[in-house]
Amino acid sequence: MSADLPGNLLMYLTLGACAGLLAGLLGIGGGLVIVAVLLWLLPLSGVPAEYAMHAALATSLASILFTAAASAHAHHRRGSVLWPSVWRLVPGLLLGAALGALAATALSGETLRWLVAGYCVLAALQMLLGRVAADDGRPDAPRSPLLMLAGGLIGALSAIVGIGGGSLTVPLLLRLGVAPVRAVGTSSACGVAIAASSAVSYACFGPSGALPSGGIGYVYLPAAASIAAASMLAAPWGTRLAHALSGVALSRVFAMFLLIVGVSLALR
């Protein structure tokens, strides 16, 4: 199987920079755009076509682990991570993500592609049509025990579509009355748990030797490392931009991003 060319590595780095900006701006690890681009780029690096979709999901999540951590740290420094809510979500996120990744390994690449595309469109419509909470400066953190159950569902779906869960966690927190920028920051912290659990599952349950040298299960490490390195540098810039935008603008940017990615995957 072929090794990565310098041009491919440069594209992974560029993709990582875009993902980092999205992580800080929207509270996501850029997973949706990473999956869409990797589905095209990984075969150029020698990944067999029949494994490309699974590898795109797994590699996206492996890179998001570091992207989300950098974004969460930047938001924490600005006081926009509601840690009491994070700790109530984390147990469900960890379990749900592990089970979701295991389920995804049993699905075909074509099925996964349509699931990701459909999810993007539905999430975009929800954000465009939903009500946006006003940022009134209150740092109230939802503490319901039901957050653990919600975390399980968010973790499972996130692992199946290769994301850090921001497009699920942010709307949930907004509905619970959290101001948009705090929902974004809290979502970034939750993404660390989702990415860690699901990436380990994809690495453990993926077929041995299916990917080129540097692959572990379905995780292609050269791509994941390149994307993560660039995204960690770019995430703080996205965080600054998130704090400069209004809540309404932030949600609308989020929705349009999801819609574009969903349509591009459906038309692939």
Convert the pLDDT of each residue in 158-175 to its tens digit: 999 998 888 789 888 988
Residue 1 in domain: no
How far, CA to CA in Å, does 117 sit from each of 236, 250, 258, 262? 28, 22, 9, 4
Residue 60 in domain: yes
Q: Which residue has the higher pLDDT, 81 or 3?
A: 81
Residue 213 in domain: yes
Residue 214 in domain: yes
Residue 184 in domain: yes
Domain housing 195: 6-266
- Answer yes or no: are the C-beta atoms of 178 and 140 closer than 8 Å: yes
Percent of the chain with pLDDT over 70: 87
Residue 52 in domain: yes
Beta bridge partners of 216: 219
Q: How far apart are CA 234 and CA 253, in angstroms?
A: 18
| pLDDT, averaged across the chain | 84
pTM for the structure as a whole: 0.84
Residue 12 in domain: yes
Domains identified in the chain, total number: 1
Residue 142 in domain: yes
Convert the pLDDT of each residue in 122-171 to its tens digit: 877 876 776 555 554 555 688 888 999 999 999 999 999 998 888 789 88
Q: How far apart are CA 260 and CA 254, in angstroms?
A: 10
